[in-house]
Structure 1
Amino acid sequence: MKFESNMTVKGQVTVPKDIRDALGLKPGQAVAFELDGDGNARIIRADDPARIEARKEAFLGRLHETRAKFAGKALDPDMDGLEYQRMMRGDGPEV
């Protein structure tokens, strides 16, 4: 679903009621904004402990996988970006 709202000159927007209801937002409640790599923004409850814990666990999982991938591999300061990518991703089609 897509909802729209106008921004004031102060940069304020009204969060549509359907979105507030779906997120369980109440007046005065903190919200957080996330910006992804494609430039898309999301609004989330800033105080949702389950969401915070899930994001923390997901991050720690990715961190563990990355550390395991590099374990025992010597990083050569003379490697270029493509060599680093191949080391991290393995051989595959050129991009």
Structure 2
Amino acid sequence: MTTTVTAKGQVTIPKAVRELLGIIPGSKVAFHRSSDGQVVLIRADQQQPASRFRKLRGHAGQGLDTDAIMALTRGEP
């Protein structure tokens, strides 16, 4: 992936990298130079990126039995 540096020295972090690191607006990032001279971008605020499955976790509702849940998933009234 490549990106262009602006006149102000700014770059846009590609979407795939933002998603991989869990970078959202307001996230802090850090740049580190590795021993071979490469620069590595890491997320600096120590928050782990949210699992793509974590967003889907939840429950069907308080007090619903199996029949009520099945009716909801089928779209029955």
Establish whether TM, by shorter chain, passes 0.5: yes
SS in structure 2 of the partner of residue 7 of structure 1 = coil
1:16 corresponds to which residue?
A: 14
Summarize the Cα distance change of 1:49–1:28 in structure 2 as closer, same or farther, 3 Å threshold: closer
RMSD: 1.5
1:48 and 1:12 map into 2 onto residues whose CA distance is: 23
Q: Identity over the aligned pairs, expressed in percent?
A: 46
The residue that corresponds to 2:28 in the other structure is: 30
More helix by share: 1
Q: 1:49 to 1:29 in 2, by over 3 A?
A: closer
- C-alpha distance in structure 1 between counterparts of 2:2 and 2:47, whole Å: 28
Provide, for residues 45-68 of structure 1, a one-character-per-residue CA deviation record: whole Å limited to 9, x for no partner. Answer: 001167xxxxxxxxxxxxxxxxxx
Corresponding residue of 1:69? none
Q: TM-score, normalised by structure 2?
A: 0.57
Q: CA-to-partner distance for each residue in 1:13-48, whole Å, 9 max, x for gaps?
A: 000000000000001211010101221011110011
- Structure 1 runs of 4+ with >3 Å offset: none
Give TM-score, length-normalised by structure 1. Answer: 0.47
Matched residue pairs, number? 48
Query: Which ranges of structure 1 fall in alignment gaps of 5 or more residues?
Result: 51-95
